[in-house]
Structure 1
Amino acid sequence: MLDRLVWLAFDLFFLLMLVRCVISWFRPSHYHPIVRWVENTTDPILEPIRRIIPPWKTAGLDFSPAIAIFLAWVIASVLAGILP
């Protein structure tokens, strides 16, 4: 039961990161409430990764969402394996 909850949380996190990536492709107004909410929700997770691997060091490509998704997957896998 708890492992399903962990995977549900991971799925929601993955969806949020996917929305963040799609938003960055279209450059909508940062004043839109949904865009602002997605950015405010994901920035605390992505900013520490960007400090370690800045986009200018990777030819302008921002790999921080992919790294965040991978780390979340590892954490979810460990938690799902530990929980009954």
Structure 2
Amino acid sequence: MSAADPDEVARDQLTAFVERIERLEEEKKGVSDDIAEVYAEAKGNGFDVKVLRKVIAVRKQDVSERAEQEAILDLYLSALGMQTD
């Protein structure tokens, strides 16, 4: 029984990594296409896609992060004389 050639083992590992990444990239593209379809459907039903994307981004944030960003936005708007409160 002979030991495996280290170059062959490394080549096989590299090939496996590349193939896994390629499969995941294809899955990611499929999911991205699905998301785009949902946004298009929402737009077709009269929803503002830019605002919908913002809602999705806000929902990803935790409460303290969102509060901090809102406070900074208020500060910047106030500094520019654009405060809406």
TM-score by length of 1: 0.29
Q: Between the two structures, name the one with larger relative contact order (CA 8 Å, sep ≥ 6).
A: 1
Bigger Rg, which one = 2
TM-score by length of 2: 0.29
